[in-house]
Structure 1
Amino acid sequence: MTQNSNPFPEGYPYNPASARPEAAPSPQAPETDDSSFNLHDFFILCLNKWKWFVISIIIFLGLGVLYIMSTPETYTRTASVMINEDTESGSQGVASALSDIGLFQSSANVNNEMLAFQSPAIIADVIQRLGLQTDYIYRHNLKNITLYGDSCPVSVNFLSIPSKQSASMELDIRDDGKIDISKMMLNGVECDPSEMTVNIGDTVATSFGPITINPGPAYAKRFGNTIKIFRYSISDAIEAYKARLSENLADDNSTVIDFTFKDVSIQRADDFLNTLIDIYNEKWVDDKAKMAKSTSRFIADRLRVIEQELGNVDSDIADFKGEHLVPDVAAASAMYMEDANENTKQQMQVSTQIAISKFILDYIKNPDTNGQLVPANAGLENPGIEAQINEFNQLQLERDKLSNSTGDTNPLLQDYDKNLRSMRSALVSSLTNQERALQTQLNSLIRSDRVTSRKIASSPGQAKYLLSVERQQKVKEALYLYLLQKREENELTLAFTPYNTRIITPPMGSNRPTAPISRNILLICFALGILIPGFILFIDESMNSRLRNRGDLEGIRTPLIGEIPESSDSNTLRVRRWRRRWRDILGKNSQIEEAPSLLVRDHGRSIMDESFRMVRANLEFMTRNSQNRVIMVTSFNPGSGKSFISLNLAAALALKEKNRKVLIIDLDLRRASVSRILPDHSRGITDYISGATDNCDKYIQQTECPGLYLLPVGTIPPNPSELLYSDRLKQLIEKYRQEYDYIFLDCPPAELVADASIIAPLADITIFILRAGLLDRRMIPEIDRIYDSHRYHNFMVILNGTLTSGAPYNRYASYYSAYDKKS
């Protein structure tokens, strides 16, 4: 007999041509393919773990429902305003709007105004005007309900607490009209005392200053829950409300700003947007009115001076006429008065312009007016200088607006100051040149007036004096009337300053909450309930280096004669898996001992019966030579199921034919696993090998399976490897070879101890057990190396422990189930 020859016939499905020793190209180990875990395998694995997914979905949906029930509903309100952006210059805009009285309006930059709407100063004004620095909250079921406006039962006024500090307390409204205050805290620190009882409407002293609790619109509702009062610091309140407000342009080329505000109260959101727009318009009017107010103060000062001077001139004329009895000289001077009047008129106009220029020049040079607006529209008949004044005032307004929202060190602010200084110097130079030119013109008019005066020299001296004084009277009167006119125009400018915005869409929105959206949250929770266990399974399977299924053995050359699935008993399967996990946790030296189960039954139709019959059929191809009767069973790892497969495969061979005898010899002298199925296994083969007895037959016992016999280990020896070298073992196997149809040698794991190598020469066939979920896939190439080395006779493998369901390479669950139903 050739022990190392391959017994498989040509074309046998478990024996590819390359598996023959003489056909093997080289002893090089094959490369295993770890890519057998594909999407299909993963989907099948997820189906097999469907309970995990159901539990995960229930948990996440429960968390989603809890989140929906505990999260306050948020509403979204929107509004749209149009910024009145004027592309023309200031003076041109005046002409188009109010050209008859000289009013003007500056252009506005939309992007700058968007920033202005979100400036802390404006938001702080909105918060203080609406009292948004204080929140009133009570708990209803799992939610915190915010009370505001018509739904607020009380109103708490903190009379002396600084705006930078925060405070909180709890209120309980009693039926007798009193209020219990508790848990008073200032800046997160509990006050002492922290509890008191007050009457509604009274001002009481507390640890953080006096407060007044007044009844609100909903005071009569009598909330059953405690109302929590939170007064935030002004900085925290600004940040909170600024975060809820968002702005964007309706279109890149438009001047319409869309506002979006999110809040738990619809009424508070509407009030916030309306008040924000109102305060912005008020500040815009105030900024634009600064120039007109400055001009008004200048005109009022000059009117008081001219009124005094005009009154003095009138008194001089009256006193002179009364003292000297001077008649009306108009008729006497009729010939020359027309020329004199025209000259006087021109002198009056030039003098007025000189006075106005001097007044404005003195105002600009005054250090006290530095940083203030220059009086505009004061009657200066020089379009160039008026344009310079308007440009200077516009730049000063922009600098003041920027200064309100930034510090003095801002580079933009420094640029503004530099430009203002340059423009002020240019104004001083222009006004000085204007004054000089006007003075030259006035001197020319005075020389012309002297000529006219010489022509009326024949008139009495009194008439000449009156003419001079009346001339001064007319100049003062004309200047006074002119300033009165400009004051009225300035007042019209104050009264007719238009708002910078026009409301396109008032605050509005759906009364349905925009957050939390129950459908979206439940969908997300449902997706998480599927993804998280799937991700855990994927990570676990990706990191799993254990042998999974038959797909991991596709590339090996060693003959595979079959696979044995896990037990179909779900409870037994679960227990075995937990035991396997505990083995990994406890280590290789902490094995949990258990007796193998005899599952093969006569006429049995379970998956286990069919799988062992399949292995039996494949094995009989190899044992058709009558000499191939001794079968050695071993493995790499302890717990691979050697004893289990030895017992059940031997039972399957014994049950095939009547009067067939199959013997199992337990040669695992260290653990004696298969011996535990016998009620008494205290004596056995070790007693015979050691020479304690010469009759080993008396230790052989018949199992519950007909035709199946078992020779137990007996006494556990201290030196199992040395004992196996005994010739008595070889003689015993040769003896039983003649008496039994098959002999199974249940051996310890190979490569761990020397027992398997010692027993190997006595066996005709070596069955190597590979346990799915136990064997490291990196050991698979080692199987081919053992096969190529011919250390074991007729080397073949059995895959043990594959899943009975959910495994793509296990055919027993699907094909046998379908076949069994048809039969």
Structure 2
Amino acid sequence: MQESLNLQNKSFDAEEEGIDFKKNLNRFLEKWPWFVLSVSVCLLISYIYYNYTPPIYQVSARILVSDGESKGGSGDGLMDLGGLLGSKNSVDNEIEILKTRYLMTKVVEELKLNIVYSQRVGLKNMELYQAPFQLEIIKGLDTIGYSRVEVTKLNSDVVKLNIDGKVSNVRFNQPFQLKGIGMVKVVRNPNLIFNEKPYICTIISVDNKAAQLLGQLSIALVNNKVSIIELGLAYPDPRKGEDILNALIKQYIKANLEDKNAIADSTTTFIKGRLSLIAAELGDVETDVENFKQRNKLADMSAQSKLLVENTNAFVDDLSKTETQISNLTQLESYLSNENNKRILPSSIDMSGDIVFSTTISKYNSLLVQRDKQLLSVTETSPFIQNLDQQISNLRKDLLESVKSSKSSYLITRNKLRDQIATVESKVNDVPKIEKDYLKLARNKQIKEELYIFLMQKAEETAISKTANISIAKTIDPPKTNSMPVSPKRNNIYLGGLFTGLIIPMGLILLINVLNTSVSTKEDIRNVTQVPIIGEISHNMDDDNLIVANKSRSAISEQFRALRTNLSFYLRNTDQKVILLTSSMSGEGKSFTAINLGNILALAGKKVLLMELDLRKPGLSAKLGVSNDIGFSNYTINENLAVKDIVRPLNINKNIFIISSGPLPPNPAETLMSERMPDLVNALKQEFDYIIMDAPPIGVIADAQLLANYADVTLYLVRQKVTQKAQLSIVEDLHQSKKMKNIGLVINDISNKYYGYGYGYGTYGEETKPGLFKKVSKMFS
């Protein structure tokens, strides 16, 4: 019989493996009130969110960035105007510049976006493009906080202010102190109608508003093949959103032009300084020439002197250019040697066509401009500023080395030219000394004149280039708002609420199932033990322990009849009469099962004895209302007591009797091992058809194993949602080690109708049906 039940259990396991999805679905269906409540709450939240959230519109614009080198000017001489117009621009760099807090802060200050006006329309607070009044900050605090002011018109001159529940009346243009903001006043806008509904004025700091707008701003490259940047802004008011994007583009172009003009201004300042110095030197040389002629009465040079001048003219020209380069490089070397100097360099200093040097200067200037911008929002101790200072210092060192190297080359060239001129001059032995001296003065004057004329030319070119400066970007698609709001979208919100309402209880149910350590289903049992299940007892809806006696046609009574039938396969021989009941721990229904199993056997005309052998915590006699003053413990210590002295009949059925535990002994285990125990069991077998031993839980103490030798079949009680899954290893160990023979499981207190495969007992007239409130409460439990 046991083998057949094992085969049946294996077939059940194979069948259950294919219906895991069905089991999970049944778990969800059992808790349908959870889903109804969750979906209802989530849909209500979705409704509230949709009706209370103002619509958000997407504003888009496109700008074209010139991604290449743009140069102007002649490109020769000391100053090259290409540096003034900037070198190759990286589109990625321009995207990052557009995202800077500096530009957005300028936009917020220009449009006064940190003061937001709104009014309730239906259930929503809608931001206004223009309000019939303005809240002007006359003198703000150093750190402006958050403030919310409700403004209501009282008459043409007075408005009512509600600030954090405090109400006050003020006149238009009347200054008053606003907590957290500073001194402010309300200014009337006569072009708009001031209706009676309250207006809400929200004030935050410029930095916080800039941070909010940056979070709503999206900037991306259209594709990698073009240098077109697309700007997007999510904003509740379409017109104001377009204004914000327009202002951002305007500030970006303005900042770009300011950077270029700063470089041009630096170049102009440098040239003016050199012009002033050269003009003074040229004046001194011209005065020396004039005085020399007057002093020596020299009107013209001899033909031989003129020939010498013509022969040395080429050398003088080269020497003049070389002296010019040396002079400017000396000035630049002096500038770069001072580490505290943070001015922008002329970006187009000609180093004989050295592109690397020109690029380095442009990068050096860009870092200085970037540093000046960052200092508007951070201090010089900021890690970012210190990093920039390190980069600037490194570039300064590279530039200084290049300047020194170039200057050294020009000095060598100048010395060679001077040697060549001296060689030519030495050949003219017959030139009078006066003419030689005059030649030196004339040569020096020519050098100064050419340098002065060159600087004047470059000064004009720089001025012209500044007026010709244009931004590297231009708007090709002005800001435009999509007609439909991007959020909130009703269908998406309600679908999201529906799915969230379904997912939350599903997740909770699955999580509870994963975290549940107690036995809930047959699968939990069969995953641990192969011991056959020979009985299933459903949940007792009443407090009555005598279900079989008082409700013989109830579903639970039928389940005990099924258990009686299964036991007949175990107890085939007439001498097999002893049934042992045990469990993993107390409270799993051993006494309840013993009473009703004994009663169902007695109804079949069998003489049944209940033995209360839990000598540590007896409960059987108390449930039956039987006195426990004389029982098993008395029999083991008093040899004068006979079997008939401890056996008492029960009123529930004439065929059922009980031996109570008697007074609690100090040594329960030794009491069960009494030498009178075997004779007692043999005597009882002669008198009764069935003996049901209610033993202590084997998972706690070993008393039940002491009684296993007398048992013909052992019923191991497992209570749904009480017995722990880990405790099933006890019964499996007993089964594998053969410590208890003919062991079978009885599942008690089954409250989940999806626990197994159903009982097939139907509804009986005597079964007490729970009310609707209990059913719903049970489903939420």
Normalising by the residue count of structure 1, what TM-score does the alignment of the two structures yield? Answer: 0.65
Cα deviation, 1:276-317, whole Å, max 9, x if unaligned, reads: 2112212222332345556667888979999xx99xx9xxxx
Query: Does the 8 Å contact 2:132/2:192 carry over to 1?
Result: yes
Q: Distance in 2 between matches of 1:102 and 1:615?
A: 100
Cα shift at 1:498 = 2.3
Query: Does the 8 Å contact 2:147/2:204 carry over to 1?
Result: yes
Partner of residue 229, structure 1: 202
Partner of residue 547, structure 2: 597
Partner of residue 778, structure 2: none
Cα shift at 1:477 = 13
**1:775 match: secondary structure:** coil
Q: Does 1:78 align with 2:60?
A: yes
Corresponding residue to 2:248 among 255, 267, 276: 276
Cα deviation, 1:777-808, whole Å, max 9, x if unaligned, reads: 44434435556787777554433334552124
Q: Distance in 2 between matches of 1:364 and 1:348?
A: 24
Query: Does the 8 Å contact 2:611/2:660 carry over to 1?
Result: no
Query: Does the 8 Å contact 1:686/1:713 carry over to 2?
Result: yes
**2:41 match: secondary structure:** helix
Corresponding residue to 2:369 among 398, 401, 416: 401
The 5 Å alignment of 1:407-426 reads 407=385, 410-422=389-401
Cα deviation, 1:196-232, whole Å, max 9, x if unaligned, reads: 5321233446676532322358863436346243231
Between 712-721 and 105-114, the greater mean CA deviation after superposition:
712-721
Q: Distance in 2 between matches of 1:639 and 1:702?
A: 25
Corresponding residue to 2:158 among 157, 178, 191: 178
Query: Does the 8 Å contact 1:291/1:376 carry over to 2?
Result: yes
Corresponding residue to 2:186 among 182, 189, 213: 213
Relative distance call for 1:566 and 1:477 in structure 2 (3 A) is closer
Partner of residue 122, structure 1: 103
Cα shift at 1:275 = 1.4
Cα shift at 1:435 = 9.2
Counting matched residue pairs gives 707
Partner of residue 58, structure 1: 40
Aligned identity (percent) is: 20
**2:154 match: secondary structure:** coil
Relative distance call for 1:242 and 1:521 in structure 2 (3 A) is same
Q: Distance in 2 between matches of 1:72 and 1:702?
A: 76
Query: Does the 8 Å contact 1:685/1:699 carry over to 2?
Result: no
Partner of residue 48, structure 1: 30
Query: Does the 8 Å contact 1:666/1:675 carry over to 2?
Result: no
Between 350-359 and 79-88, the greater mean CA deviation after superposition:
350-359
Q: Distance in 2 between matches of 1:300 and 1:52?
A: 84
Q: What amino acid is aligned across from residue 174 of structure 1 in structure 2?
A: K
Relative distance call for 1:58 and 1:206 in structure 2 (3 A) is closer
Cα deviation, 1:718-776, whole Å, max 9, x if unaligned, reads: 55966995899669845743xxxx44536243546798678777766554433333333
Corresponding residue to 2:565 among 598, 612, 617: 617
Q: What amino acid is aligned across from residue 559 of structure 2 in structure 1?
A: S
Corresponding residue to 1:251 among 210, 223, 248: 223
Query: Does the 8 Å contact 1:364/1:428 carry over to 2?
Result: no
Q: Distance in 2 between matches of 1:56 and 1:617?
A: 45
Normalising by the residue count of structure 2, what TM-score does the alignment of the two structures yield? Answer: 0.68
Q: Does 1:783 align with 2:740?
A: no
**1:227 match: secondary structure:** strand
Query: Does the 8 Å contact 1:600/1:651 carry over to 2?
Result: no
Partner of residue 700, structure 1: 649
The 5 Å alignment of 1:272-311 reads 272-290=244-262, 292-293=264-265
Cα deviation, 1:596-647, whole Å, max 9, x if unaligned, reads: 4237866x4x643543333232223344544445545444433333343344
Q: Distance in 1 between matches of 2:63 and 2:562?
A: 83
Corresponding residue to 1:667 among 609, 612, 615: 612
Q: Distance in 2 between matches of 1:731 and 1:362?
A: 126
Q: What amino acid is aligned across from residue 198 of structure 1 in structure 2?
A: V
Partner of residue 433, structure 2: none
Corresponding residue to 2:145 among 166, 177, 180: 166
Q: Does 1:496 align with 2:468?
A: yes
Q: Distance in 2 between matches of 1:122 and 1:84?
A: 20
Between 209-218 and 759-768, the greater mean CA deviation after superposition:
759-768
Cα deviation, 1:365-385, whole Å, max 9, x if unaligned, reads: 89699766778999xxx9948
The 5 Å alignment of 1:238-637 reads 238-290=210-262, 292-293=264-265, 384=352, 394=362, 397-404=365-372, 405=374, 407=385, 410-422=389-401, 492-554=464-526, 556=529, 560-567=533-540, 572=541, 595-598=545-548, 604=553, 607-629=555-577, 631-637=579-585
Q: Does 1:133 align with 2:114?
A: yes
Q: What amino acid is aligned across from residue 145 of structure 2 in structure 1?
A: S
Cα deviation, 1:454-508, whole Å, max 9, x if unaligned, reads: xxxxxxxxxxxxxxxxxxxxx9999999999877765543333222112233223
Q: Distance in 2 between matches of 1:561 and 1:619?
A: 8
Query: Does the 8 Å contact 1:562/1:798 carry over to 2?
Result: yes
Relative distance call for 1:389 and 1:294 in structure 2 (3 A) is farther
Corresponding residue to 1:110 among 75, 91, 97: 91
Q: Distance in 2 between matches of 1:18 and 1:262?
A: 63
Cα deviation, 1:405-439, whole Å, max 9, x if unaligned, reads: 36366222113323444565578678889999999
Relative distance call for 1:41 and 1:402 in structure 2 (3 A) is same
The 5 Å alignment of 1:719-758 reads 719=665, 733=684, 736-737=687-688, 742-745=689-692, 747-751=694-698
Q: What amino acid is aligned across from residue 597 of structure 1 in structure 2?
A: I
Relative distance call for 1:744 and 1:127 in structure 2 (3 A) is same
Partner of residue 320, structure 1: none
Cα deviation, 1:106-165, whole Å, max 9, x if unaligned, reads: 432323323332334323322221212334456677765444xx3434322223225544
Query: Does the 8 Å contact 1:766/1:793 carry over to 2?
Result: yes
**1:506 match: secondary structure:** strand
Partner of residue 812, structure 1: 759
Query: Does the 8 Å contact 1:595/1:676 carry over to 2?
Result: yes
Gaps of 5+ in 2: 11-15, 287-306, 375-383, 426-446, 764-781
Query: Does the 8 Å contact 2:84/2:260 carry over to 1?
Result: no
Partner of residue 584, structure 1: none
Query: Does the 8 Å contact 2:547/2:557 carry over to 1?
Result: no
Query: Does the 8 Å contact 2:560/2:600 carry over to 1?
Result: yes
Between 224-233 and 366-375, the greater mean CA deviation after superposition:
366-375
**2:749 match: secondary structure:** strand
Between 118-127 and 135-144, the greater mean CA deviation after superposition:
135-144
Q: Distance in 1 between matches of 2:105 and 2:717?
A: 79
Between 238-247 and 410-419, the greater mean CA deviation after superposition:
238-247
**2:547 match: secondary structure:** coil
Between 710-719 and 211-220, the greater mean CA deviation after superposition:
710-719
Relative distance call for 1:115 and 1:438 in structure 2 (3 A) is farther
Q: What amino acid is aligned across from residue 214 of structure 2 in structure 1?
A: K
Partner of residue 326, structure 1: none
Relative distance call for 1:347 and 1:371 in structure 2 (3 A) is farther
The CA RMSD measured in Å over matched residues stands at 6.3
Query: Does the 8 Å contact 1:151/1:217 carry over to 2?
Result: no
Q: Distance in 1 between matches of 2:706 and 2:328?
A: 122
Relative distance call for 1:163 and 1:794 in structure 2 (3 A) is closer
Cα shift at 1:86 = 1.9
State which structure, 1 or 2, has the greater radius of gyration over its C-alpha atoms: 1
Q: What amino acid is aligned across from residue 283 of structure 1 in structure 2?
A: A
Gaps of 5+ in 1: 1-7, 20-33, 185-189, 314-338, 447-474, 577-592, 818-823
Query: Does the 8 Å contact 1:250/1:258 carry over to 2?
Result: yes
Query: Does the 8 Å contact 1:80/1:258 carry over to 2?
Result: yes
Q: What amino acid is aligned across from residue 747 of structure 1 in structure 2?
A: D
Cα shift at 1:354 = 10
